[in-house]
Amino acid sequence: MTRDAIVPLESYRLVQYAVPIPCYICETENTYDAEYCRNCLAPMALAHQANSQKIRPSMIAVMGGSAVGKTVYLGMLMDMLSRQPERMQLLARGAFSITLQQTTMSALARCTFPEKTPNDPDRWNWVHCQVRWPKRRHPWELIVPDMAGEALFEEIHHPHSYRVIGAYLKKCIGAMILVDTLRLKEGSRDQDYFTMKLVSYLAELHDSPKESWQRRPVAMVFTKADQCEPCVADPAGYAQAHAGGLWQQCLERFSIHKFFAAGVAGACVWRESRSEGRVRVPLRVEPFGIVEPFEWLLEQIKAQRLAGK
C-alpha cells in the first residue's frame, strides 16, 4: 500500500542543463554544474569566472622538468607580489587560486619543500589572478597552472596524452621555462636535453608562422641559482657554457627570450629519512630573482600589444 504524495516538478533545472558552458582552456562544452572539464580536466571555475567579468583572462605557462622547482617558484612569486603594491600587485581571483601560495609558504615555514605536483590535471593548482600596476589604469587578468613535470614529459614524448597541456600552450601569450641549475652544475645533461625537447615541442604546436611561439616572449629561468655564483653573475653566459644545446635552440626558435637566475632557499642541507631516503631541505628562505622574469615577460607582452602584433 502506498500513500499519495505531492512531488514538486523542478523543470527549471533542465533549462540550466540545456545551455552548455565551454571550458576556458579547450572550449569543450560542459554542463553548468561540472566541476572539471570532461575533456581536459581543467577546473570549470575558470570558465565561470571568465564569463562573469568584462576582461578576458590571458594565459602564461610556467614549465620545467620534474623537481625543477616550479611549485616553489610560483608560490613564492604569488606571495611576494601580493605584498608589493608599490611595484606590482597580484590579487587572487577565487579561493582555489590561493592554495598554491598557502601550500608553498606553509611548507617553507616548516623547513621543507612542497610535495610533488600530481600528474592528474584535476589535482593541479590553478591560479587565476589579477595583476595591477601603480601608474596603470587597466589591470591584467592571468591564468597560470602549476603543471606537473612528469605530465609535461609524457605529453612531449606522446602528444595528446594530456589534452589540457596542448590546448593550454596554444593559447598562452608567453612562457617561463625553468631549468635546474644544480643538475647542470653537477654535470647532468638531462636538464639540457629535456628543455631542448620542450622548446621543440612549443615550436611545433602551430602550423601558421603568425601564431608560432617564435613571436611570443619566453623567459628562461635558472632555478636554485643561489648555490652557483657564475650563474647569478651571468645567466646567459652560464647557459652558453653549460647548456649549449638549449642556448642554440633559443636563438633559433625564439626571437624574444632572455635568461634569468633565481633562488628561494638561501641554504639547503641533505637529511636522511627512512621512508623517503635522502631528502633536500631548506634551512632559510632568501628569495632573489623571483619577480624579475615575470616582470620582464609582462613588459614584452605589453610592448607587443602596443605594437599591434
Question: What is the model's pLDDT at position 272?
Answer: 78
- Is 80 exceeded by the pLDDT of residue 86? no
Q: How confident is the model at residue 214 (pLDDT cuts 50, 70, 90)?
A: confident
Domain map (residue ranges) of the chain: 53-307
Count Cα neighbours of 248 within 13 Å in the Cβ-side half-sphere: 8
Question: What is the model's pLDDT at position 234?
Answer: 95
Question: What is the model's pLDDT at position 20?
Answer: 87
Q: How confident is the model at residue 94 (pLDDT cuts 50, 70, 90)?
A: confident
Cβ atoms of residues 125 and 100 within 8 Å: yes
Long-range pairs for 21-26 at CB < 8 Å and ≥24 separation? 21/47, 21/48, 21/51, 22/47, 23/47, 24/50, 24/57, 24/143, 25/164, 25/167, 25/168, 25/171, 26/163, 26/164, 26/167
Domain 53-307 sits in CATH at 3.40.50.300
Q: How confident is the model at residue 14 (pLDDT cuts 50, 70, 90)?
A: low
Cβ atoms of residues 159 and 169 within 8 Å: no
137-146, 194-203, 220-229, 273-282: the lowest-pLDDT one: 273-282
- Is 70 exceeded by the pLDDT of residue 227? yes
Q: How confident is the model at residue 9 (pLDDT cuts 50, 70, 90)?
A: low
Cβ atoms of residues 185 and 228 within 8 Å: yes
CB atoms within 10 A of CB 68: 25
pTM metric for this prediction? 0.89
Question: What is the model's pLDDT at position 16?
Answer: 61
126-140, 179-193, 217-231, 270-284: the lowest-pLDDT one: 270-284
Cβ atoms of residues 262 and 223 within 8 Å: yes
Q: How confident is the model at residue 7 (pLDDT cuts 50, 70, 90)?
A: low
Which tops the pLDDT comparison, 138 or 44?
44
Alpha carbon distance 129, 33 (integer Å) = 23
Q: How confident is the model at residue 304 (pLDDT cuts 50, 70, 90)?
A: confident
- Is 70 exceeded by the pLDDT of residue 137? yes
Q: Where are the beta strands (DSSP E) in the chain?
A: 21-22, 29-30, 58-64, 89-92, 125-132, 140-146, 174-180, 218-223, 257-261, 263-273, 277-288
Alpha carbon distance 33, 13 (integer Å) = 11
Label the pairing between strands 140-146 and 29-30: unpaired
Helix count and strand count (H, E) for the chain: 12, 11
What confidence tens digit (pLDDT) does each residue in 151-173 have? 999 999 999 899 999 999 999 99
Classify residue 233 by burial, with Cβ atoms within 10 Å: 0-12, 13-18, 19+.
Answer: exposed
- Is 80 exceeded by the pLDDT of residue 287? yes
- Mean pLDDT (whole number) for 138-148: 92
Alpha carbon distance 24, 59 (integer Å) = 10
What confidence tens digit (pLDDT) does each residue in 16-43 have? 666 789 999 999 999 988 999 999 999 9
Question: Of 307, 216, 231, 297, whose CA–CA distance to 262 is shortest?
Answer: 231
Q: How confident is the model at residue 187 (pLDDT cuts 50, 70, 90)?
A: confident
Q: How confident is the model at residue 282 (pLDDT cuts 50, 70, 90)?
A: confident
Q: Residue 169: in which H helix or E strand, if any? A: helix 163-171
| Cell numbers found for residue 158 | 606522446
